[in-house]
Amino acid sequence: MYELYYWSGIQGRGEFVRLVLEDIGQPYVDIGRDKGDDAVAKALDGVLAPYAFAPPVLRAGDLVVAQTALITRWLGEHHGLAPHDERGRLAAATIALTIADLTAEAHDTHHPITVEEAYEKQKASARERARAFRQHRIPKFLGYLERILEKTGNYLVGTVSYADLAAFQVVEGLTYAFPHTMAKQEIPKLRALRDRIAQRPRITAYLTSDRRLTFNESGIFRHYPELEAA
């Protein structure tokens, strides 16, 4: 039984891990949702110390794995959701880490100065950061994924992997945060991948369950209309 340590009220980075756990059909305890955020915070100073800096963290018995892309890689490679050869495993990890960079940049559109202050106190800087993100970074990152799919076919590394689940989540998140910008992106293969992942039986069951929280303005992907205004 795996234990996932992440905050209770948001999808956040923990959702990348949840999607993998759900797809592989592995039972897990979502500590924040089951026991509260205080239990997560306490564990960071206790059983998860000293290497885990912040959630998400996965605990498997005495083993503790932190950092989103590393957790999903570990799960994927242990549960048949990753390539078998070293070249393929490294390719999947490279893509997952790049998606993690994209996720961090999406977060910084609404917190461009510091995470210690509320969005409302850095709106002016957020507008500038979001404009650059919409115009330059979204097309660059999504174009990268699209070009990979043009070479590999239905999945990013040729066979379905945790990297595809990460791509699904980032497309969903960006569509929520920047719907008008995303509607303009010419990424037919990436959209087809998004649909292909959504149709996987266990993912479909998860997405239609009450375990899948909706996006909100407390998570990484936030929709503020003023950040997409011309």
Task: Output the pTM of the full model.
Answer: 0.96
Task: Residue 96: name the closest of 165, 176, 155 by CA.
Answer: 165
Quickly count: other Cβ atoms within 10 Å of residue 154's Cβ: 13
Give me the pLDDT at residue 230, please: 59
How distant is the alpha carbon of residue 33 from its chain centre?
18
How high is the mean pLDDT in each 10-residue block of the chain (230 residues)? 96 98 96 97 93 96 96 98 97 98 98 96 96 98 98 98 98 98 98 98 98 96 91
What pLDDT shows up at residue 130?
A: 97
The pLDDT value recorded for residue 229 is 81
Are both 67 and 42 inside the same structural domain? yes
Say yes or no: 59 and 90 in one domain.
Answer: no
Which range of residues forms the domain containing residue 182?
A: 86-200
Instruction: Based on the fold, state whether residues 38 and 67 are members of the same structural domain.
Output: yes
Residues 130 and 187 in one domain: yes
Instruction: Give the residue from 78, 94, 129 where a domain finishes.
Output: 78
For 26, the token pair is: 């592995």
The distance from CA 53 to its chain's CA centroid, rounded to whole angstroms, is 18
Q: How far is CA 72 from CA 34, 69, 81, in A?
A: 21, 5, 9
pLDDT at 108: 98
Encoded amino acid at 177, one letter: A
Residues 53/27, Cβ–Cβ less than 8 Å:
no
